[in-house]
């Protein structure tokens, strides 16, 4: 299942996440797009509370990217997906954050889009919660 998340809210770029329970699922980032108000060169990463904090991944990083030349866009589509076991039971409780370096470039973001691929999800749809 692919989940598209987009935010233009500059206050941390929060996403409205749907109710989606998980049972033995994994997650991977399949696409990342960032639009800036002016040309810039950045590198950064995306973190998520969907996965466990471990000694090998203490910041819960699910995706890293680097921009080679100045542009008003960063668009990344990995050729090989890095999958991580989902530790949360519900997608609605997850946090997904964008981290840029240099950090002041965050103020120049106009739009942030990320596409997640949920793999082998045992989706349990309850009677009061419908996935739309």
Q: Spell out the residues 6+ positions from residue 72 whose beta carbon is closer than 8 angstroms to its own.
A: 35, 36, 37, 38, 39, 40
All structural domains of the chain with their residue ranges: 2-119
Percent of the chain with pLDDT over 90: 61
Cα separation, 21 vs 53, in Å, equals 20
Alpha helices in 1-132 (DSSP H): none
Supply the pTM of this predicted model.
0.84
Determine the pLDDT at residue 107: 86
Q: Is domain 2-119 classified as CATH 2.60.120?
A: yes
pLDDT reading at 128 higher than 80 = no
Total number of residues shown for the chain: 132
Coil/strand/helix, residue 91: helix
The model's pLDDT over 71-109, given as tens digits with 9 standing for 90+, comes to: 999 999 999 999 999 999 888 889 999 999 888 888 889
- Per-residue pLDDT, 132: 52
């Amino acid at each position: 299942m692919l989940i598209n998340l987009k935010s233009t809210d500059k206050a941390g770029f929060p996403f409205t996440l749907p109710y989606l329970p998980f049972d033995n699922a994994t997650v991977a980032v399949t696409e990342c797009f960032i639009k800036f108000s002016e040309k810039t060169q950045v590198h950064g990463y995306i973190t998520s509370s969907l996965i466990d904090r471990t000694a090998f991944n203490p910041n819960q990083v699910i995706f890293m990217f680097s921009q080679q030349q100045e542009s008003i866009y960063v668009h990344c589509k990995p050729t090989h997906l890095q999958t991580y076991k989902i530790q949360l039971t519900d997608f609605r409780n997850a946090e997904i954050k964008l981290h840029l370096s240099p950090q002041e470039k965050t103020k120049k973001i106009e739009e942030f889009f990320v596409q997640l691929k949920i793999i082998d999800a045992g989706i349990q749809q309850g009677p009061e919660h419908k996935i739309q």
